[in-house]
Amino acid sequence: MPFAISDPADPRIEPYRAVRERDLVGRQHRFVAEGEVVLRVLLRQSRFTIESLLLAEGRAESLSDALALLPPDVPVYTANRQVMDAIVGFPIHRGILAIARRPSLPPVEEILAQLPEKALVVGLIGLTNHDNVGGIFRNAAAFGADAVLLDRETCDPLYRKAIRVSVGGALVVPFTRAPSAEALLRALEAASFEVIALSPSGKEVLSQIRPSRRTALLLGAEGPGLPHGLLEKTRSVSIPMSGGFDSLNVATTSGIALHHLTHG
Amino acid sequence: MPFAISDPADPRIEPYRAVRERDLVGRQHRFVAEGEVVLRVLLRQSRFTIESLLLAEGRAESLSDALALLPPDVPVYTANRQVMDAIVGFPIHRGILAIARRPSLPPVEEILAQLPEKALVVGLIGLTNHDNVGGIFRNAAAFGADAVLLDRETCDPLYRKAIRVSVGGALVVPFTRAPSAEALLRALEAASFEVIALSPSGKEVLSQIRPSRRTALLLGAEGPGLPHGLLEKTRSVSIPMSGGFDSLNVATTSGIALHHLTHG
Average pLDDT of the residues of chain B: 94
Mean pLDDT for B94-99 is: 95
Structure confidence at residue B180 (pLDDT): 95
Instruction: Chain A: give the shortest CA distance to residue B89, in Å.
Output: 24
Check whether B102 has a pLDDT greater than 90: yes
Question: CB-based contacts of A32: which residues, under 8 Å, 6+ apart?
Answer: A16, A19, A22, A23, A97, A98, A99, A160
Structure confidence at residue B210 (pLDDT): 93
H helical segments located in A115-195: 130-142, 160-165, 169-172, 181-190
Integer Cα distance of A192 and B31 in angstroms: 53
Which residue, A42, A39, A45, A51, is CA-closest to A97?
Answer: A39
Structure confidence at residue B96 (pLDDT): 96
Structure confidence at residue A88 (pLDDT): 94
B175-177 and A175-177 beta bridge pairing = unpaired
* A47 touching chain B per CB within 8 A: no
- SS3 assignment, position A206: helix
The Cα-based distances of A99 to A11, A85, A137, A222, B228 in angstroms read 15, 16, 20, 32, 39
Integer Cα distance of A10 and A8 in angstroms: 6
Average pLDDT of the residues of chain A: 94
Structure confidence at residue B28 (pLDDT): 86
| Long-range Cβ pairs for the range B7-14 (8 Å, 24+) | B7/B83, B8/B79, B8/B83, B8/B86, B8/B87, B12/B75, B12/B77, B13/B52, B13/B54, B13/B77, B13/B79, B13/B87
Structure confidence at residue B143 (pLDDT): 97
Chain-centre distance for alpha carbon B185: 20
Q: pLDDT tens digits for B111-147? A: 999 999 999 999 999 999 999 999 999 999 999 999 9
* B250 touching chain A per CB within 8 A: no
Check whether A160 has a pLDDT greater than 80: yes
Domain layout of chain B by residue ranges: 3-101, 108-263
Check whether B235 has a pLDDT greater than 90: yes
Would the CB atoms of A207 and B240 count as touching at under 8 Å? no
Question: CB-based contacts of B35: which residues, under 8 Å, 6+ apart?
Answer: B94, B96, B164
Integer Cα distance of A122 and A124 in angstroms: 7
> Is CATH 3.40.50.2300 the classification given to domain B3-101?
no
Structure confidence at residue A43 (pLDDT): 93
Mean pLDDT for A210-230 is: 94
Structure confidence at residue A26 (pLDDT): 84
B50-56 and B96-101 beta bridge pairing = antiparallel
Q: B167, B37 in Cβ contact below 8 A?
A: yes
Structure confidence at residue A247 (pLDDT): 86
Band of the pLDDT at B245, cuts 50, 70, 90?
Answer: confident
Structure confidence at residue A153 (pLDDT): 96
Check whether A244 has a pLDDT greater than 80: no
Structure confidence at residue A161 (pLDDT): 95
Residues above pLDDT 90, as percent of chain A:
88
Between B39-43, B82-86, B123-127, B239-243, the lowest mean confidence (pLDDT) is in: B239-243
CA-atom Rg of chain B in angstroms: 20
ipTM for the whole complex: 0.93
Q: A163, A170 in Cβ contact below 8 A?
A: yes
DSSP state of B235: E
* A110 touching chain B per CB within 8 A: no
Chain-centre distance for alpha carbon B104: 15
Q: Region of B83 please: left (phi>0), alpha (psi -120 to 50) or beta.
A: alpha
Integer Cα distance of B226 and B232 in angstroms: 10
Query: In B, which residues are within 8 Å of A141 by CB distance?
Result: 242, 245, 247
Mean pLDDT for B5-9 is: 94
Query: In B, which residues are within 8 Å of A169 by CB distance?
Result: 245, 247
Integer Cα distance of B245 and A243 in angstroms: 35
Would the CB atoms of B256 and A259 count as touching at under 8 Å? yes
* A243 touching chain B per CB within 8 A: yes
> Is CATH 3.40.50.300 the classification given to domain A108-263?
no
Check whether B7 has a pLDDT greater than 80: yes
Q: A185, A150 in Cβ contact below 8 A?
A: no
DSSP state of A169: H
Q: pLDDT tens digits for A15-43? A: 999 999 888 888 889 999 999 999 999 99
Between A240-249, B44-53, B100-109, B254-263, the lowest mean confidence (pLDDT) is in: A240-249
Integer Cα distance of A159 and A165 in angstroms: 10
DSSP state of B54: E
DSSP state of B11: G
Between A101-110, A150-159, A189-198, A221-230, the lowest mean confidence (pLDDT) is in: A221-230
Residues above pLDDT 90, as percent of chain B:
88
Check whether A46 has a pLDDT greater than 80: no
In the beta sheet, which residues pair with residue B205?
A: B238
At residue A32, what are phi and psi to the nearest 5 degrees?
-110, 130
Query: In B, which residues are within 8 Å of A242 by CB distance?
Result: 141-144, 262
Q: pLDDT tens digits for A172-184? A: 999 999 999 999 9
Would the CB atoms of A242 and B143 count as touching at under 8 Å? yes
Structure confidence at residue B230 (pLDDT): 94
Structure confidence at residue A209 (pLDDT): 96
Check whether B224 has a pLDDT greater than 80: yes
Structure confidence at residue B264 (pLDDT): 79
The secondary structure element, H or E, covering residue B42 is helix B36-44
* A144 touching chain B per CB within 8 A: yes
Between A45-49, A110-114, B70-74, B102-106, the lowest mean confidence (pLDDT) is in: A45-49
* A148 touching chain B per CB within 8 A: no
The Cα-based distances of B64 to B13, B39, B81, B171, B194 in angstroms read 21, 12, 19, 21, 45
Integer Cα distance of A218 and A225 in angstroms: 10
Domains B3-101 and B108-263 share a fold: no
Integer Cα distance of B185 and A100 in angstroms: 47
Query: In B, which residues are within 8 Å of A251 by CB distance?
Result: 249, 252
Query: In B, which residues are within 8 Å of A241 by CB distance?
Result: 142-144
Q: Give the number of beta-carbon pairs within 8 Å between A and B.
A: 104
